[in-house]
Structure 1
């Protein structure tokens, strides 16, 4: 580990210059109720941008002597950072983009704790209260832009994709950029970085000077998928469920590239919403796309959706393989439809209030051996609820693969067990095995040990 820079002091900018003593104390508090542990994890992940590793626990172990504290001085605030990753600096100066991301970490952790999670005005046991909380977090981060027509395309996909798939995601981002469409992703590497990188070039050619490269993450995943350097609007939501809802509230259409368990979690979450009877009339384009070699991958995804959720779910998805220009044109055309729909319904262009999200989809799912084994992976329920249960199963697999808490759980108690309908479980087993064979579960696929067991009831 590089230790050339043992300590650096940074003065935050903007509103962070006037943090209160209480806020600074929260950020330095190492107790269970304090924010220092979260600050340390998120700050280390941000400063580790570009490193080729996706194990949150291993990152903390590698930089075990990394530390960050917040000090309130008479003239403002100081960040005291000890033993940071050396590659976050150029000529001993922290890279500006990483500094901005670091400030976003502080902003969102403090705001979410003081103004949302500990604020009795937000009823986080009620669906609308959670949706309202997400709105406030997004607004505080500057993600909501009034007087702008719908143009945000959310791009989902794996962080451990191959070079050709990455090039394709970049090409599609370029086509989106040429059409003055903005890009929102999970902000990490791979299929989250490619579209942004391509959009930068497309926006540049069109002299589109207000290009947005929105990154949405949460503390549990940020170490495995650190924000890439292109992100110019970063927001950290308190948990995965609020992060997922932010995508569908802020985005106007979704493009899905090849990925692993995390991408399936996102797709199943989206289907659980779009399959709800209350949402079936709302326009929300979803395109699955990749390079020519991804045909087999998408055939496997569509087979899984067909067999587990049925044709009703499959009809919500459009597959366009190796057609980046067509995908971008399709998204551009859909933006005009969404514009008219929002205008006719008087819904905000920048936040999809009409979309109904059930409280079950909003309540944080904590993957433990007990909660994973208790999932209802049977057909004795409405299809949108089955999709939600399947989403949680994949969420647990993501946790067991890359999140520090999930990795500790697997190390202590062994793989999670998933029980369910024999046909559903057989399809899940087949799909997950294909992800393993295609090296989509981890960056270092050679050492991957499954964190799950499929059990057919």
Structure 2
């Protein structure tokens, strides 16, 4: 049984969390509305930080007794929280990092609903409109450091990884931290936590006091991947597509560690963007890396990319095995090239405006059985569009593994059905089966049943 603190009160520490009376009303538990339930789920997920689980029901089973109440004070704002997990407290006082993350949740949910969805200047139905909306969300979260040289490294990789791979992510993070590079990840555990932990040590040795450990998540996944304790800037995007775009707009260099379906989704997303002819001259450091034991993993990833997207896609990244120093040096060199390019083009250091992102990568993909079965997974289309459709297929598999909507969809209708060209489907099936064999789909995989069927 989960131990809880019956009642606790925390107050806002910055002006970003000030609310109008209408905003408080929308988030009131008396309304029991969509915004209130979203706020409640996300805050509970934050307070479960540190729990090594990707089971959404670990959080959901606490929802009935968990509650929040927003209280407006003349000095600011207070949250009254009922039955929060005891693990979020020390001597009866909420851990400061979690305190900050709770108000980050409030900030992002309020901003999305009140400032963006009802803002006539923001158009979520156009490419430029979505990129502008993402900029507004990141700016409101104070994610931009004006005047700072590029130094943000996005680290992607799985949450369900063996210990030697986790150690390697820390080693790479350490080498990045020694070079005063900050880290952005999906904010969960495994390869999302390791680089932050390593960079924290590297920053400490270099006496870097303002190191950044940015965690970018979205409501559908936060309950399964609670923010890890190292995250000092939590940002919640509206959905997975806007989360992925936030990574590529905010980051300056990209390092990919071993992972499962979610990592494959991220790889396909970025390759699809880089394959767009309009982006061919934009420097974009992209490195795949892991310990020596991961060599076969990346050979299979590289083989899958070669058979589906071809040599042009394979030329967009480099693979470095078992050499954290070489990874850090290559990343730094790549970021230096990014800086020179943006300086030449007079593009912002803090937001990659020049990168062209097609609508196929921006439109929210809802992984219903109909949508999954109708994906175009054939070779007779431009490579960047095939990458977009493959990305959606892997996104649906992630949903079927750990997201509430996807899990319920599979429970109700059975595994997702995927159709396409024989060569594409055989390559995809081999890759997914290897993820299952290596325990990369979920943390608890003893009775794992695939949420997909390759036809």
TM-score, normalised via structure 1 length: 0.97
Is the alpha carbon distance of 1:32 and 1:415 closer, same or farther for their aligned partners in structure 2, counting shifts above 3 Å?
Answer: farther
- Supply the distance in 1 between the matched residues of 2:232 and 2:279 (Cα, whole angstroms): 31
Is the alpha carbon distance of 1:4 and 1:188 closer, same or farther for their aligned partners in structure 2, counting shifts above 3 Å?
Answer: closer
1:173/1:197 contact within 8 Å kept: yes
* SS of corresponding position for 1:420: coil
RMSD of aligned alpha carbons: 1.3
Per-residue Cα deviation, 1:271-325 (whole angstroms, up to 9, x for no partner): 1100000001100010000111001111110010000111110111100010100
1:57/1:403 contact within 8 Å kept: no
Point out the more displaced range, 109-118 or 286-295: 109-118
Where in structure 2 are the equivalents of 1:289-438 lying within 5 Å?
Answer: 289-438=289-438
Where in structure 2 are the equivalents of 1:191-270 lying within 5 Å?
Answer: 191-270=191-270
* SS of corresponding position for 2:84: coil
- Supply the distance in 2 between the matched residues of 1:17 and 1:105 (Cα, whole angstroms): 10
- Supply the distance in 1 between the matched residues of 2:32 and 2:99 (Cα, whole angstroms): 27
Point out the more displaced range, 66-75 or 191-200: 66-75
- Supply the distance in 1 between the matched residues of 2:60 and 2:316 (Cα, whole angstroms): 40
Where in structure 2 are the equivalents of 1:435-446 lying within 5 Å?
Answer: 435-446=435-446
Q: Which runs of 5+ in 1 are unaligned?
A: none
Match of 1:137 in 2: 137
Deviation of residue 92 (structure 1)? Answer: 0.8
Point out the more displaced range, 81-90 or 385-394: 81-90
Deviation of residue 17 (structure 1)? Answer: 5.3
1:197/1:230 contact within 8 Å kept: yes
2:52/2:189 contact within 8 Å kept: no
Match of 2:166 in 1: 166
* SS of corresponding position for 1:446: coil
Match of 1:449 in 2: 449
TM-score, normalised via structure 2 length: 0.98
* SS of corresponding position for 1:84: strand
Match of 2:76 in 1: 76
- Supply the distance in 2 between the matched residues of 1:157 and 1:30 (Cα, whole angstroms): 40
Where in structure 2 are the equivalents of 1:45-64 lying within 5 Å?
Answer: 45-64=45-64
- Supply the distance in 1 between the matched residues of 2:357 and 2:3 (Cα, whole angstroms): 47
Segments of 4+ moved more than 4 angstroms? 29-33
- Supply the distance in 2 between the matched residues of 1:4 and 1:171 (Cα, whole angstroms): 36
* SS of corresponding position for 2:53: coil
* SS of corresponding position for 2:287: strand
Per-residue Cα deviation, 1:385-424 (whole angstroms, up to 9, x for no partner): 0000000000000000001111111111111111111110
Deviation of residue 62 (structure 1)? Answer: 4.4
- Supply the distance in 2 between the matched residues of 1:279 and 1:300 (Cα, whole angstroms): 26
2:16/2:107 contact within 8 Å kept: yes
- The number of equivalent residue pairs is 455
- Supply the distance in 1 between the matched residues of 2:39 and 2:62 (Cα, whole angstroms): 17
1:158/1:258 contact within 8 Å kept: yes
- Supply the distance in 1 between the matched residues of 2:333 and 2:427 (Cα, whole angstroms): 35
2:29/2:68 contact within 8 Å kept: no
* SS of corresponding position for 2:68: strand
2:401/2:441 contact within 8 Å kept: yes
Deviation of residue 176 (structure 1)? Answer: 0.2
Deviation of residue 63 (structure 1)? Answer: 4.4
* SS of corresponding position for 1:375: coil
- Supply the distance in 1 between the matched residues of 2:339 and 2:4 (Cα, whole angstroms): 52
Per-residue Cα deviation, 1:161-188 (whole angstroms, up to 9, x for no partner): 1111000000000000111111111111
1:12/1:77 contact within 8 Å kept: yes
1:18/1:76 contact within 8 Å kept: yes
Match of 1:285 in 2: 285
Point out the more displaced range, 225-234 or 14-23: 14-23
Deviation of residue 13 (structure 1)? Answer: 1.8
Per-residue Cα deviation, 1:49-94 (whole angstroms, up to 9, x for no partner): 1112102244202443212221224443221211111111111111
Per-residue Cα deviation, 1:96-133 (whole angstroms, up to 9, x for no partner): 00111101000000001111122121011110111011
Deviation of residue 29 (structure 1)? Answer: 5.4
Deviation of residue 11 (structure 1)? Answer: 1.6
1:16/1:77 contact within 8 Å kept: no
Per-residue Cα deviation, 1:237-280 (whole angstroms, up to 9, x for no partner): 11111100010000011000000000001110001100000001
- Supply the distance in 2 between the matched residues of 1:391 and 1:110 (Cα, whole angstroms): 29
- Supply the distance in 1 between the matched residues of 2:16 and 2:347 (Cα, whole angstroms): 32
Is the alpha carbon distance of 1:440 and 1:17 closer, same or farther for their aligned partners in structure 2, counting shifts above 3 Å?
Answer: closer
Deviation of residue 448 (structure 1)? Answer: 1.1
